[in-house]
Structure 1
Amino acid sequence: MNYLSDLYSSDTLIKALKRLPSDKVQSWNEFSKQILRTCEPNLLDLKTWLRERLDTDLNPYAVSTHRTDASSIDKFNKQKFSGPRSYLLFKHKSLNTRGYNQEYKHEQQSKSSPAPTHKENPNQLVFQKPCLVCKENHSIYKCPIYYKSFQERQKVVIDNQLCHNCLRSNHKTEACSSTVLCREPSCQGKHQTSLHPVDPDQTHLVHKLNISTTPQVCFQIVKVCILGKNCSTIETFALQDTASEITLVEKPLAQRLGITGRPKLLTIQTISGKTTHNSSLVSFSVQSATDSNAEIINIPEAWIVPTGTFHCPPQVLLPEWQHLSDLGLSNVTSSDIQILIGANVPEAHIQTDTLVGDKHQPIGIKTILGWSIMGVAKPDQTNVKVSINLLCKQDTSSLETLVEQFWKTESFGVAHKFETSLSMEDRKSMHILEQSTCLINGHYEVGMLWRNPETVLPNNYQAAARRFQLLERRLTRDNHFRDMYSETLNSYIKNGYAQRLTSDEACVTTPLTWYIPHHGVTNPNKSGKVRTVFDAAATYRGTSLNSNLMTGPDLLNNLFGILIRFRLYKVAIVADVEGMFHQVRVPVRDTDALRFLWKEDILQPGPPDVYKMKVHIFGAVDSPSCANYAIKRTAKYNCNQFNSLVIETTLKDFYVDDLLKSVETPPEAVQLYKGLTKLLGNGGFRLHKWMSNSYEVLDSIIES
């Protein structure tokens, strides 16, 4: 993550320590004092200390530091620790421990035994019951054997029938009154944090589930050749599992291949519990064992697992499967399988051919690795042991991840942003933008970003007519909304954004003929105005206008950069591009895909008229990219006629149609206003809604 050195940086440690609660500072000072005898502490030591503090805070037997006087302790003993089963808290004047920070040696003998005197080490707690794990006189939270491994902790809890939440034995987990939950991120389960695996990488495997009345099936098992170090090759069987996000390989096979990798912890979970193994990540190549000319597949990451991990029904070929008889397949048992290829190797799962037999017979599937079979093997069989293989990898928050997140937050907006190459779709979109854009009568014309230049759309007139009937009913009921909506759409016709088609023109259809439903959206902050939204996502016969368009490259400027630059200087100016999308024309060929139904007089009876938009619409996925490209092209094609401030402002300080800019002086802001107005006017765009914090600038804008 490029910040590994920060784990050992004293500056980073000091920054973290400044955030410690005041009641934890003394504890850290004592802990770090021990470390300073040999070396300087670092973030890894802080992690160790935090783990210890967490275990102490989760201790249900911990004594509050606020109970310091004798009367409080008497009251505490009487209410909380009365009776023969209780633990005894002796009086003392300065009890400074919240958990079990000292050894507890005095055991309460019986209810009739005389109370110990103050001389019997009054700073100690006395337990009636020893530790359930090692039988010593300390809490289970302090037992080194309990924390030895996750398996040991699970075994102790199950064998002693302890509550999974508070580790007591007098009730079940469901009836536990403790409100403390697991403190692992994204868990919050009702169990002790010590019973939650906290390994940096956890991979969960669920398998071996017995289900009755289920037919036996064949999994995809293929014979492969594994390529290891020193050109060593081994033939074995691989299970192709698209439900797994990782690849597994058995340890004996990895040893024979001579491949090793970096150590990792692997947690295998079944319906009966979890087991943790020391594993490692290795890499190797695999090829079909039946075709020496087949493509070699590289597997960059595979987990090493113990022998016998893969459980699946045996593959037994039956004579009635005539369609599979010539494939050269053999019988395979689960012990023959030494590798599981997951979905992290997608090229291994691409099907190149299939063979289908009769009903209830498995099918043959051919991939790069060869032929395999999959499907029902014995449909009449019941009470069969069924294997469900599901592997998923879950990364929990480690110290390295937390440090990385810390630095991402600290460097937000100032970290270097590496340029990423355009995708194939974005390159195709850029080619359309560059080839189709031209300036006609003072406005740019930009082609729509079709995925396929030979697109054929179904005629959806009837679907659009039904949507228009719903809109017509709403407009008929709501007079105010009808007036606003009619004014908006009729203004499109008046301004030349839309064109009414004659009856003859409406009857002519092309492969791109498409009718777009539309509806109105109101803004409570802009009363008396309705925005018409064309529903380009409306589907008909499984397709829509948007599904046939590409979104285009992301040409938006970074909003964080715009806001930071906006705060640089004293004089601020803000403006808005009027009807930005509607200032960019659409080629005549594409306008047929922008047809819509409308009546200039909505109350007039009869069918609606057919119109078509001649500009890019609000609702199409390619409109933002096309409009942004037109504005940037305006700046680049006029760069020799304007100063660098005007050009740079046009290229970098617009977020969609909003301008935010600051300059040092009012005269400079006025010159920028005049330059931007003239420059964008050359591309058919008009800036309006000017605002500034300078009256001098506002006066100049009003006068002009």
Structure 2
Amino acid sequence: MQEGTNDERGSTLRPVESTSGTTLLNSTGSSRKTSMILPVYISHTDKPNNERLVYAILDSQSDTTFILQDTCQSLGLAGTPVKLKLSTMHAENKVIDSTKVQGLMVRGFNNPQKIQLPSAYTRNIMPANRAHIPTPEVAELWPHLRPIAGSILPLQNCEVGLLIGYNCAKALTPRDIIAPNGNGPYGQQTDLGWGIVGVVDTTWEGADCDHVGVSHRIVVRDVTEDLALFNHPRPEPAFFSVRNKVKEIIDPNSLIKMFGLDFSERHAGSKCLSQEDRKFLSVLEERTRLKEGRYEMPLPFRNAMPRLPNNKEMALQRLRPLKGRFKRDQAYHAKYIKCMEDLIDKGHAERVTEEDMVQTNHVWYLPHHGVYHPKKPGKLRVVFDGSARYRSWSLNDLLLQGPDFINSLCGVLCRFRKEPIAFVCDIEQMFLQFRVEACHRNYLRFLWWRNGDVNQEPSTYRMTRHLFGAVSSPGCANFALRKIATEGKSDFGMDVSNFIKRDFYVDDGLKSVSTPEEAVSLIKRSTALCKRNGLVLHKFLSNSKEVLKEIPPEARARGLTNIDIHEDGLPIERTLGI
């Protein structure tokens, strides 16, 4: 087994073996040729921070993009099973089993810009020769290529896990070319990095008979003497291009199954978990505690508590433009102050003591800014930038995102329409209801002026709760909410537990039942369970006046504030932004 290597953030990469249907193509011996096989980080739109380093073949003769099955599994991805009709120079119209994966993204090793890939299909093999991977040593052999030697990564111990076809033109587009000298190789730059293409050692006697004599799409064969043309005394090589075709086969059973996926809902326990997801759950299960009526959880770091550079100066630089905007926009300033004072007054944030200021290694400063809700133009929310970078570090790079246990929106909405009596509610500031372990709070420091007075020097504060802007917060909040539902089952009933587990979409609950009495009972018991664990259910709406009469006015939605429930008709309200 090959050992893993460390990437630039210190996480361990576990390479999987690259194989091929043709053993010669799997060779890792020496070669005198190189091609566009580049190191890239591959990730998925659902978990953009869960990246894996692989080599990608940039193949301008393939109209389809493929991903190695083992690479797909290492990312914890599950696609749609399909059958492909594949035509290559080895076989025509060969039907193979595959999986269709959507939402893949790639970026160059030293390039933060991500490229969205089209639908990719899994293969158990990848036709690659690792000896054809460009290296700095190859560039140094040619004077015209030496300037790019520093831009090419040394050979990495990771798999050739991706083949990008010309259906992703952005990944294959040449951005710069270094022309060859004579028959030598040329350099080509794409958004994924520099590559070297061609014969890199023309003096080698075997340059024309490399043991890998078949490329992905071209067959090279000599014309025999008896076929030589009259005016050509010596035979010349002929090149035959073999068209590659990929067609997805959809049979009636697959079609029915595909339509069924639109309305199916997998339970959280049935979802495939990656190793990082398992680690996330292990950390929270071990260290989540109920203290003083509220759950406390750690920040789920990828590794042990990281030692970070002091980024306070970066936070100060991000604070200066905010100061300027405050002076230009008094209304924005007033709303910002109110948001920050609410955080501090409610105990969601605290001022860092002089004693704690001495600590410098396990510390990170978060910039912050205000955003307006697009459908609530007067409401300002302060967002902490967990993705802010300093010397290539960011807090979100260090945190585990956790599994996606958010309920299916389709399932929640379908159950919401099932019974005649419906109601909706919301968990007030859900992320902020869960405490962060005291030993991790210094990673959530931020700068702010006391009382919002920008003429003073900013003071140092830190969050005591899981915040909006950290990649781990949704997973932590969802984990705690499910834990509350599970542990409250015996005291408050199975229906309450199922309501919280299955009928919430993030922090919005939607439920329908048979009678008003059933709805009132469920609301009261669910509210009591949440209150016992530090959560507040509010913004209740219902299509039943009998239900609304039993809900305290302060717990109803704002649209019902000026409504006489006994006399007036009920207004039409939005839920989940719909």
Match of residue 526 from structure 2: 676
- SS across alignment from 2:538: strand
- SS of alignment partner, residue 641 of structure 1: helix
Equivalent residue, structure 1, for 2:141 = 360
Query: How many Å apart are 1:428 and its aligned residue?
Result: 0.3
Whole-Å separation in 2 of the counterparts to 1:365 and 1:478: 54
Q: Distance in 2 between matches of 1:449 and 1:416?
A: 25
The whole-number CA distance in structure 1 between the counterparts of 2:529 and 2:156 is: 61
- Residues 627 and 398 of structure 1: is their aligned pair in 2 closer, same or farther, counting only changes over 3 Å? closer
CA distance 1:391–1:454, change in 2 (3 Å)? farther
What's the counterpart of residue 135 of structure 1? Answer: none
* Deviation of the 1:600 alpha carbon: 3.0
Q: Once the two structures are aligned, what percentage of the paired residues are identical? A: 35
Aligned-partner Cα distance in 1 for 2:371–2:412? 28
Aligned residue for 1:610? Answer: 460
* 1:264/1:486 CA distance change after superposition, 3 Å: closer
Alignment check: 8 A CA contact 1:552 1:625 kept = yes
Q: CA deviation at 1:395?
A: 6.4
**How many Å apart are 1:603 and its aligned residue?**
4.0
Q: Deviations over 1:372-409 (max 9, x none)?
A: xx973249xxxx9x999565997655562687446522
Question: Is the 1:468–1:517 Cα contact (8 Å) retained in structure 2?
Answer: yes
* CA 1:366–1:700: 2 relative to 1, 3 Å: closer
User: For residues 455 and 349 of structure 1, do their structure 2 counterparts lie closer, same or farther at Cα, with a shift above 3 Å needed?
Assistant: farther
- Number of residues paired by the alignment? 383
- The C-alpha deviation readout for 1:398-457, integer Å capped at 9, x for no partner, is 562687446522552148779243110011000011011001111100111100114222
Asked if the contact 1:351/1:367 (under 8 Å) is kept, the reply is no
Tell me if structure 2 keeps the 8 A contact 1:484–1:528: no
* DSSP 3-state at the match of 2:535: coil
1:376 maps to what in 2? 200
Structure 1 unaligned blocks of 5 or more: 1-216, 222-239, 248-261, 269-275, 284-299, 301-341
Alignment match of 2:401 (pick from 528, 548, 551):
551
Q: 2:349 is matched with which residue: 469, 483, 498?
A: 498
CA drift of 1:604 comes to 3.8
Matched, 1:472 2:253: no
Query: In structure 1, what is the Cα distance between the partners aligned to 2:408 and 2:84?
Result: 41
Per the TM alignment, residue 646 of structure 1 is displaced from its structure 2 partner at its CA by 1.1
2:512 is the alignment partner of 1:662: yes
Q: Does 1:519 align with 2:343?
A: no
Q: Secondary structure at the match of 2:552?
A: helix
- Which piece of structure 1 moves more, 495-504 or 410-419? 410-419
- Structure 2: distance between partners of 1:524 and 1:220: 51
For residue 587 of structure 1, what is the aligned residue in structure 2? 437
Distance 2:531 2:253 in 1: 50
**TM-score normalised to structure 1 length:** 0.48
* 1:577 aligns to 2:445 (yes or no): no
Q: Is the 8 A contact 2:419 2:514 kept in 1?
A: yes
Alpha-carbon distance, 1:590 to partner? 0.9
Letter of the aligned partner of 1:419 in structure 2?
A: S
Change (3 A) 1:278 1:676: closer
Q: What is residue 419 of structure 1 aligned with on the other side?
A: 270
RMSD: 4.4
* Structure with the higher strand share, 1 or 2: 2
- Equivalent position of 2:281 in the other structure: 430
Alpha-carbon shift at residue 638 of structure 1 (Å): 2.0
> Which amino acid is 2:391 matched to?
R
Q: Does 1:509 align with 2:359?
A: yes
TM-score by length of 2: 0.58
Distance 1:494 1:454 in 2: 29
> Residues 363 and 442 of structure 2 are in contact (CA less than 8 Å); yes or no, is this contact kept in structure 1?
yes
Aligned to 2:418: 568
- TM-aligned CA deviation for residue 349 of structure 1: 3.9
Q: Which residue matches 1:539?
A: 389
Name stretches of at least 5 consecutive residues in structure 2 with no aligned partner.
1-30, 36-54, 60-64, 68-82, 99-122, 160-197, 219-242, 556-578
Map 1:34-53 to 2 at 5 A: none
Asked whether the equivalents of residues 220 and 241 of structure 1 are also in contact (C-alpha less than 8 Å), the reply is no
Match of 1:667, as an amino acid? E
1:43 alignment counterpart: none
Aligned to 1:52: none
State the match for 2:448 in structure 1: 598
1:456 pairs, out of 299, 302, 307, with: 307
Deviation at 1:666, TM superposition (A): 0.9
Structure 2: how far apart are the matches of 1:686 and 1:577? 6
Structure 2: distance between partners of 1:631 and 1:638: 11
Q: Partner of 1:476: helix, strand, or coil?
A: helix
**Greater Rg by CA:** 1
Task: Give SS of 1:543's match.
Answer: coil
Q: Which amino acid aligns with 1:632?
A: R
Q: Larger relative CO (CA 8 A, sep 6+): 1 or 2?
A: 2
Residues 690 and 546 (structure 1), Cα distance of their counterparts in 2 relative to 1, 3 Å cut:
same
CA deviations on 1:474-529 (whole Å, 9 max, x unpaired) are 111101111111101111000000011244533x2243200000000112432432
